[in-house]
Amino acid sequence: MATLSVGMIGYKFMGKAHSNAYRQVSRFFKLPVTLRMAAICGRDEANVSAACKEFGWEGYETDYHRLLARPDIDIVDITSANNAHAQMAIDAAQAGKHVFCEKPLATNLADARRMLEAVERAGVKHMVCFNYRATPAVALAKQMIEEGRIGRVFHWRAVYLQDWIVDPSFPLVWRLQGEVAGSGAHGDLAAHSIDLAHFLVGDIDSVVGDMRTFIKERPVLAETTGGLSARASEGKGPVTVDDASVFLARFANGAVGTFEATRFAPGHKNYNCFEINGENGSIIFNFERMNELQYFDRRDDGHVQGFRTIQATEGVHPYIGPWWPPGHIIGYEHTFVHTVYNLITAIAENRMPSPNFRDGVRCQAVLEAAAQSVKSGTWEKVAY
Amino acid sequence: MATLSVGMIGYKFMGKAHSNAYRQVSRFFKLPVTLRMAAICGRDEANVSAACKEFGWEGYETDYHRLLARPDIDIVDITSANNAHAQMAIDAAQAGKHVFCEKPLATNLADARRMLEAVERAGVKHMVCFNYRATPAVALAKQMIEEGRIGRVFHWRAVYLQDWIVDPSFPLVWRLQGEVAGSGAHGDLAAHSIDLAHFLVGDIDSVVGDMRTFIKERPVLAETTGGLSARASEGKGPVTVDDASVFLARFANGAVGTFEATRFAPGHKNYNCFEINGENGSIIFNFERMNELQYFDRRDDGHVQGFRTIQATEGVHPYIGPWWPPGHIIGYEHTFVHTVYNLITAIAENRMPSPNFRDGVRCQAVLEAAAQSVKSGTWEKVAY
Amino acid sequence: MATLSVGMIGYKFMGKAHSNAYRQVSRFFKLPVTLRMAAICGRDEANVSAACKEFGWEGYETDYHRLLARPDIDIVDITSANNAHAQMAIDAAQAGKHVFCEKPLATNLADARRMLEAVERAGVKHMVCFNYRATPAVALAKQMIEEGRIGRVFHWRAVYLQDWIVDPSFPLVWRLQGEVAGSGAHGDLAAHSIDLAHFLVGDIDSVVGDMRTFIKERPVLAETTGGLSARASEGKGPVTVDDASVFLARFANGAVGTFEATRFAPGHKNYNCFEINGENGSIIFNFERMNELQYFDRRDDGHVQGFRTIQATEGVHPYIGPWWPPGHIIGYEHTFVHTVYNLITAIAENRMPSPNFRDGVRCQAVLEAAAQSVKSGTWEKVAY
Amino acid sequence: MATLSVGMIGYKFMGKAHSNAYRQVSRFFKLPVTLRMAAICGRDEANVSAACKEFGWEGYETDYHRLLARPDIDIVDITSANNAHAQMAIDAAQAGKHVFCEKPLATNLADARRMLEAVERAGVKHMVCFNYRATPAVALAKQMIEEGRIGRVFHWRAVYLQDWIVDPSFPLVWRLQGEVAGSGAHGDLAAHSIDLAHFLVGDIDSVVGDMRTFIKERPVLAETTGGLSARASEGKGPVTVDDASVFLARFANGAVGTFEATRFAPGHKNYNCFEINGENGSIIFNFERMNELQYFDRRDDGHVQGFRTIQATEGVHPYIGPWWPPGHIIGYEHTFVHTVYNLITAIAENRMPSPNFRDGVRCQAVLEAAAQSVKSGTWEKVAY
């Protein structure tokens, strides 16, 4: 069996989730190739060597250019901070590597387009890690839509609610710094909702939105003061991203969409929720109960219609077969296992993975139109 | 249009609920007769005259024998304390009145049988107020069972949970005194579950159970010390009913049943809940969400099976037509309106109402078998 | 005890709900006056005389000017079609009557302002029937906010979802005709959400929105063809109101708001739902489970925090005392009983009821700004 | 760092779950030793060698006595069929190995006692795999009980509902054969509920129960006909275990318990649910939503009391720290990772793991008393 070797850049939250996925995928899924966790890459040698051992990689690199120079590496996985994605992906493509990149693809649309151009010019495979598509219940929703169970779509309604920065004493981490993160809840959370809307409903014609930064200054962390020293005064620094983002959308197919992403919704931890209303029925998903899908079928007998709570944990459901018996639920990390399964099988079979950089660009185009509409105060066309 | 005149005995909680039902039923439902709220009856004239006005009765009586002697009264409704039911019902039957009696029919099976004998000998119509049968969602469950949607029944699982006497300082009200109430949670709550089991599943062959009185003494209320003075010491008196009752049941059709009734389940207010599992599907009901019925259909397509939450608030659902639009829910009191509707239409059309004293006796037979099994420590046959 | 006499115009859905409220309020609540259901008024004598009897009114009128001329009438209640509200309310005020008007107050802001001017000039009491404020769980939410349990508000999120016109064969009823209804989901449903936002969060500075009519033509009802004959072709007529309305809002206090109202959400029957996120916690309400309120308290011990499902059915909760024991839920119609209770006690005590025409105007101002923003494509200031 | 080497017997469902746990535990948790997956053992060499590779073991054995003879093995993990547990565990103990055994410990109490005697005589460490104790939400329940949040317990209410054999065409797998499985739902599912009751409430004094086999014959699988050929007629064989088991329990502390386990509850997949009602509050858990715990606190302010849905997915919750951010749920397999973590750290620190064979015997004693009560028709004391 052939081998595909991965080199991964980054070792924080996403690095941990991706590493787990590489380790687990061949334990549960039948892959057409041997998957090799060749190298992890990070600038701090102490940290990256510890992560190498903890996460189960063969070796490590401290300079991503050296990673790219290695002939044994087939796939480069980018899990570093958002503002580093573009250059790394372009360099990886130029080095002839397949590229797997965390979302959001970039911190702006122009960069995202350059990334797409680079991978297409290089003729390599590419994928963006919109892992929620690979939730069994979400994949089931997609299947049900394709089966015509919803029909013409009237409404898309997405909220992605978290609450981890409601406390004003929560510090100024990198995700709250615009130059590193690009945006706040918008690029971090709404990006997922936008991708799901593309996946399940289709193109968005135009948007109008609003953003808010509720807490404008936060304590500067000692470890991050380096880059922030110029503007840190009395131990506080400015929050330069949005805490919350809302926008309305007009889909190309006539559906009405609403999007909301916030880190200021006490009680909601990872409430990535969407609802679709169509002529034949409705679908509701909420990631905090990610093993379930709500489904209403207008064609059920009139007196026994009702929202069903489908436990998407059975062999008939997408991705579930290799796991556990019905009702024995899976978790967050499994969405990455499924995503990596899709990545590896596509590359092994010489197909383009999905979602890929084109989807990443499309998502970025919506993010950017929404951000632009906040400035212009009016509807903005999405420049796909 | 002919007239049916009601005389009601009792004016407490149930008197209030029944009065409301009589007032409302002809406002919303088309009755084949004119319904007349002729007289309310109670021993304390000040109280009963106030209730008469508050509840909307034409007049009042202070002696139920005088009520029975009135030729204008067609139906006698008994809402007084449990230990008074038997004599009143027998007297009413002998006076040639149709009898509508609150549950439990009596405080023991022998009394219940005497009551049934009396109404049958007198040839009058009779009904027992198992009002939960007249919940739209419960009537829908019945309809669905008759449609074959559940098929052969494997399991009946009923809990009726309340929490109003968890506090040890809650006083020794009449419902906690065996000589007045007959029993505690058993006759008050399990009685409803038993009737629903009869309604939806069928006869019970035998039972084995347990009961518990968790708090054995409670403060004696000043107003009730009269009847309790002999045994009230230091302001406390003994609780002489069960706080909780549990039993297993073997249904005649082979199904396995469990019943639990308690007033010691913090957080549950009126959690009258049952579940039925059958070869084709399952049904779950909970009175705290009485407008909803959960339904699982094994015959749905495999990948979209799930418990449905049916909102039984539409015109296609039992009893709903005369009320409000879909999703505009109804409440507890409406179950009495529906019950009274069934009572009045049956009498007007010379049919026996349902559930009637036969159902009351059947319920009492199960209550008594369960109580007996607590003493004997073994399974007891139900002596229907 | 003094008497207050009501004359009500209209006898359809709202006439039925209001009549029930007048009948029931003095049965359950202690009023400081005697409430008299003096007369119901409608143009069709056969219909209004039948309604008079069915709903329990003393008499009826077929011309509302005659109702206004009656010296025995203290309060005029307007439940007729939206486009009739303004003239009737102004005439009633000029006749010196207190005015109770269904929502939306008018079909446009100018009319609403004229109505407010009329009642204020006449010095009469006035109220608008935003009945959802009088849901116990909603009143509890208000109380909790006043207790500081939410603190600074970050988010208001309201959806009001129904599904009764998803079927294209559903006919062109008056609610789908712009000249009678004024608007569709916007004035019918969003109006309630806006009022609740005013009640619970505060003033809205500006809005931007979108509307959609998904099904543009519907079968003309025989009974309505009169007024539509000019444009009815081949049995179909144009839908001239919105099927769905969405808008973003900037609250004066800095909170971010989203609103959505639609009649095209299969499975949702009367899903009038809002969520508030604040610095200390969150509140969620959904009318389909109107007896419940969800509450998250950030100040609970860290390891036992979670959304609570409060059953607002206990004596400690607003409006519940006169009804039933805990867990014995109430329904839609009770919100009108509570509203009428507030109306009658305020007038009896010479206080201005709440919500009143000022609230009606405020709601209309937001409705109009949102509608204007659909045309202008940009944010519109609310002209309170 | 020292090393602990595991040899595991069995490679089916539980072998897969345990293997995953060994692989994952050192990736996420800090262990005080190096954990080595030394050997997997099974009789069929083709199968066990494939499992060895798939599950990530160093090597394999085809005879468990050879596994026990290996000096490099410290811990023997038994995941084979129930009827094999006893001899293997006794042999392992006699070989001086620590023993980790799947539940139920044995197929009867006498065997379980012999197993306990063997491990105690050998002075080895032992553990039984009641993995549900290691669910974060369940461990949180335990913590809350120890904090006094429930107080005196009134009720324990457990149901464990599945539906995988409702179809009569489902074949006669080993779990439906008494001589291999020992019992059906009783030992498979009720065993878990009993262990949780011991963990959270305490000793059970006596029980009375009922069992049922709803479908008495099933198709014999070709692969199992060998052992069943004598009694297979026309391709069907008798089901010799219970399909459902119910029993009442009297706890030593005065609490009332109910238990129900069934494989005949359509719509419930792995509904391992318990509820505890105590003087200060209640707790509800359901494995299908295993990341959540319901909690009602009677000491909350009266008007804001309600069942909380705690998402036990935060750093403050048991076992969660090493995993993912709040709201990013974990799944079934993680309970095994936590159990193995408890096993390894206890052995490394020379402590007895918990739950151990004493807990296994205690569980078996309750199972046996319940089974005996079905025969005797009366209450049976638990012979701990």
Does the distance separating the beta carbons of B314 and A297 come in below 8 Å? no
Does the distance separating the beta carbons of C278 and A154 come in below 8 Å? no
Residue A267: predicted pLDDT: 98
The structure tokens listed for B82 are: 């449990």
CA angle B34, B38, B39 (to 5 degrees): 155
The full length of chain D comes to: 384
Q: Under a CB-based contact definition with an 8 Å cutoff, are residues A132 and A335 in contact?
A: yes
**A·D CB contacts under 8 A:** 90
Out of A159, A246, A306, closest to residue C248 by CB: A246
Q: CA–CA separation, D204 vs D384, rounded Å?
A: 9
Reply yes or no on whether the pLDDT at D10 is more than 80: yes
Residue A250: which H helix or E strand, with range?
Answer: strand A244-251
Q: CA–CA separation, C178 vs C240, rounded Å?
A: 5
Q: What are the tens digits of pLDDT across the range D26-79?
A: 999 999 999 999 999 999 999 999 999 999 999 999 999 999 999 999 999 999
The residue of chain B nearest to residue D304, with distances taken between CA atoms, is B267
Q: CA–CA separation, D194 vs D361, rounded Å?
A: 11
Does the distance separating the beta carbons of B250 and D210 come in below 8 Å? yes
Residues whose CB is less than 8 angstroms from the CB of residue D227 and which lie 6 or more positions away in sequence, other chains included: none
Residue C223: predicted pLDDT: 57
Best probe of the D interface among B193, B207, B248, by most D CBs < 10 A, is B248
Q: List, for chain C, all residue ranges whose pLDDT scores fall below the cut of 50.
A: 224-232
Look at residue C382 and tell me if it is in a domain. no
DSSP D183: S
Determine what percent of chain B falls in helix, strand and coil, rounding each to the nearest 5: 40, 25, 35
Are D100 and D169 members of one domain?
A: no
Look at residue A382 and tell me if it is in a domain. no
ipTM: 0.95
Return the amino acid letter for B275: E
Q: Under a CB-based contact definition with an 8 Å cutoff, are residues D313 and D140 in contact?
A: no
Q: Under a CB-based contact definition with an 8 Å cutoff, are residues C154 and A262 in contact?
A: yes
Positive or negative torsion for Cα C21, C26, C30, C31: positive
Chain C: closest CA distance from residue B93 (Å):
31
Residue % of chain D over a pLDDT of 70? 97
Q: What are the tens digits of pLDDT across the range B150-197?
A: 999 999 999 999 999 999 999 999 999 999 999 999 999 999 999 999
Residue D163: predicted pLDDT: 98
Does the distance separating the beta carbons of C295 and D304 come in below 8 Å? yes
Q: Which of D86, D107, D131 is a domain's end point?
A: D131
Q: CA–CA separation, C227 vs B115, rounded Å?
A: 63
D282 bridge partner residues: D277, D296
Residues whose CB is less than 8 angstroms from the CB of residue B220 and which lie 6 or more positions away in sequence, other chains included: B171, B172, B228, B232, B235, B236, B237
Q: CA–CA separation, D225 vs B309, rounded Å?
A: 43
Are A86 and A189 members of one domain?
A: no
Average model confidence (pLDDT) for chain D?
96
Does the distance separating the beta carbons of B210 and D256 come in below 8 Å? yes
Chain A residues closer than 8 Å to D313 by CB:
269
Does the distance separating the beta carbons of A260 and C298 come in below 8 Å? no
Look at residue D384 and tell me if it is in a domain. no
Residue A8: which H helix or E strand, with range?
Answer: strand A3-9
Backbone angles phi, psi at C88, to 5 degrees: -60, -45
Q: Which of B97, B130, B163 is a domain's end point?
A: B130
Are A171 and A283 members of one domain?
A: yes
The residue of chain D nearest to residue B154, with distances taken between CA atoms, is D264
A137 bridge partner residues: none
Reply yes or no on whether the pLDDT at A157 is more than 70: yes
Average model confidence (pLDDT) for chain A?
96
Q: CA–CA separation, C212 vs C264, rounded Å?
A: 10
Q: CA–CA separation, D354 vs D348, rounded Å?
A: 14
Which domain, by its residues, includes A124?
A: 3-131
Region A305-326: mean pLDDT is: 97
Q: How many domains does chain D have?
A: 2
Are D141 and D120 members of one domain?
A: no
> Quick one: which of A251, A379, A285 has its CA closest to C247?
A379
Does the distance separating the beta carbons of B159 and D266 come in below 8 Å? no
The residue of chain D nearest to residue B167, with distances taken between CA atoms, is D279
**A·C CB contacts under 8 A:** 122
- Chain B interface residues facing chain A, Cβ-Cβ under 8 Å? 140, 143-144, 149, 292-293, 295, 297, 300, 302-311, 314, 316-317
Q: CA–CA separation, C150 vs C277, rounded Å?
A: 7
Q: Coil, helix or strand for B121?
A: helix
Are C34 and C165 members of one domain?
A: no
> Could you tell me how far CA C159 lies from the centroid of its own chain?
15
Look at residue B382 and tell me if it is in a domain. no
Whether the bond into D322 is cis, omega within 30 of 0? no
CA angle A36, A39, A44 (to 5 degrees): 160
Look at strands A75-78 and A98-102 and give their pairing: parallel
Q: Coil, helix or strand for D120?
A: helix
pTM of the model: 0.96
The structure tokens listed for D319 are: 């076992």
Look at residue B384 and tell me if it is in a domain. no
CATH assignment of the domain containing C259: 3.30.360.10
How many H-runs (helices) and E-runs (strands) does chain D carry?
12, 17
Does the distance separating the beta carbons of D296 and B154 come in below 8 Å? no
For the beta carbon of residue D170, count every other beta carbon within 10 angstroms.
14
Are D106 and D163 members of one domain?
A: no
Residue C221: predicted pLDDT: 79
DSSP state letters, D327-382: T----HHHHHHHHHHHHHHHHHTT---SS-HHHHHHHHHHHHHHHHHHHHSB-EE-
* Farthest-apart Cα atoms in chain B, separation: 67
Q: CA–CA separation, B157 vs D183, rounded Å?
A: 22
Task: Kindly compute the dihedral angle of the four CA atoms of residues B262, B267, B270, B274, in this order, to the nearest 10 degrees.
Answer: -70
Region A123-143: mean pLDDT is: 98
Chain C: closest CA distance from residue A157 (Å):
9
Q: What are the tens digits of pLDDT across the range B93-117?
A: 999 999 999 999 999 999 999 999 9
Are B367 and B255 members of one domain?
A: yes
Chain B residues closer than 8 Å to D247 by CB:
248
Residue B223: predicted pLDDT: 57
Does the distance separating the beta carbons of A266 and C282 come in below 8 Å? yes
- Chain D interface residues facing chain B, Cβ-Cβ under 8 Å? 154-155, 157, 159, 161, 163, 166, 208-210, 212, 214, 243-244, 246-248, 250, 254, 256, 258, 260, 262, 264-268, 275, 277-282, 296, 298, 305-307, 377-379
DSSP B254: S
CATH assignment of the domain containing B39: 3.40.50.720
Are D180 and D247 members of one domain?
A: yes
Chain B: closest CA distance from residue A341 (Å):
22
CA angle A271, A275, A280 (to 5 degrees): 160
Does the distance separating the beta carbons of D282 and B268 come in below 8 Å? yes
Determine what percent of chain D falls in helix, strand and coil, rounding each to the nearest 5: 40, 25, 35
Q: CA–CA separation, C53 vs C144, rounded Å?
A: 42
Residue B231: predicted pLDDT: 46
Does the distance separating the beta carbons of A20 and D325 come in below 8 Å? no
Are D313 and D213 members of one domain?
A: yes
Chain A residues closer than 8 Å to C204 by CB:
none
DSSP D78: E
Query: In three state form, how does the secondary structure of chain C look?
Result: CCEEEEEEECCCHHHHHHHHHHHHHHHHCCCCCEEEEEEEECCCHHHHHHHHHHHCCCEEECCHHHHHHCCCCCEEEECCCHHHHHHHHHHHHHCCCEEEEECCCCCCHHHHHHHHHHHHHHCCCEEEECHHHHCHHHHHHHHHHHCCCCCCEEEEEEEEECCCCCCCCCCCCHHHCHHHHCCCHHHHHHHHHHHHHHHHCCCEEEEEEEEECCCCEEECCHHHHHHHCCCCECCEEECCCCCEEEEEEEECCCCEEEEEEECCCCCCCCEEEEEEEECCEEEEEEHHHCCEEEEEECCCCHHHCCEEEEECCCCCCCCCCCCCCCCCCCCHHHHHHHHHHHHHHHHHCCCCCCCCHHHHHHHHHHHHHHHHHHHHCECEECCC
Q: What are the tens digits of pLDDT across the range C300-327?
A: 999 999 999 999 999 999 999 999 999 9
Q: Under a CB-based contact definition with an 8 Å cutoff, are residues A214 and A264 in contact?
A: yes
Are B187 and B231 members of one domain?
A: yes
Look at residue D382 and tell me if it is in a domain. no
Residues whose CB is less than 8 angstroms from the CB of residue C126 and which lie 6 or more positions away in sequence, other chains included: C89, C93, C98, C99, C100, C101, C116, C119, C352, C353, C356, C357
**C·D CB contacts under 8 A:** 57
Best probe of the A interface among B299, B303, B314, B316, by most A CBs < 10 A, is B303
Out of D143, D306, D314, closest to residue C310 by CB: D306
Q: Which of B112, B130, B148 is a domain's end point?
A: B130
Q: What are the tens digits of pLDDT across the range A251-287?
A: 999 999 999 999 999 999 999 999 999 999 999 999 9
The structure tokens listed for A93 are: 């493509």
Are B265 and B335 members of one domain?
A: yes
Reply yes or no on whether the pLDDT at D229 is more than 60: no
Are A117 and A182 members of one domain?
A: no
Q: Under a CB-based contact definition with an 8 Å cutoff, are residues C152 and C278 in contact?
A: yes
The full length of chain C comes to: 384
> Quick one: which of B354, B341, B342 has its CA closest to B22?
B341
Chain D residues closer than 8 Å to A271 by CB:
327
The structure tokens listed for B235 are: 């302001």
Chain C: closest CA distance from residue A258 (Å):
8
A19: confidence class by pLDDT, cuts 50, 70, 90: very high
Reply yes or no on whether the pLDDT at D231 is more than 60: no
Out of B303, B305, B308, closest to residue A306 by CB: B308
Does the distance separating the beta carbons of A277 and C262 come in below 8 Å? yes
Does the distance separating the beta carbons of B23 and C27 come in below 8 Å? yes
Look at residue B217 and tell me if it is in a domain. yes
Chain A: closest CA distance from residue D314 (Å):
9
Residue tagged 């009319």 (tokens): C111
Residue A83: predicted pLDDT: 94
Residue D23: predicted pLDDT: 97
Q: Coil, helix or strand for D6?
A: strand
Helices A332-348 and A13-28, packing angle to 10 deg? 70
Q: CA–CA separation, B112 vs B82, rounded Å?
A: 11
Look at residue D371 and tell me if it is in a domain. yes
DSSP B86: H
Residue C1: predicted pLDDT: 78
A35 bridge partner residues: A4
C1 bridge partner residues: none
Q: List, for chain B, all residue ranges whose pLDDT scores fall below the cut of 50.
A: 224-232
Residue B225: predicted pLDDT: 42
Q: CA–CA separation, B323 vs B29, rounded Å?
A: 9
Q: Show the beta-strand stretches assigned E in chain D.
A: 3-9, 34-41, 59-61, 75-78, 98-102, 126-129, 153-161, 204-212, 217-219, 236-238, 244-251, 256-262, 271-278, 281-286, 292-297, 307-311, 380-381
Does the distance separating the beta carbons of C209 and A256 come in below 8 Å? no
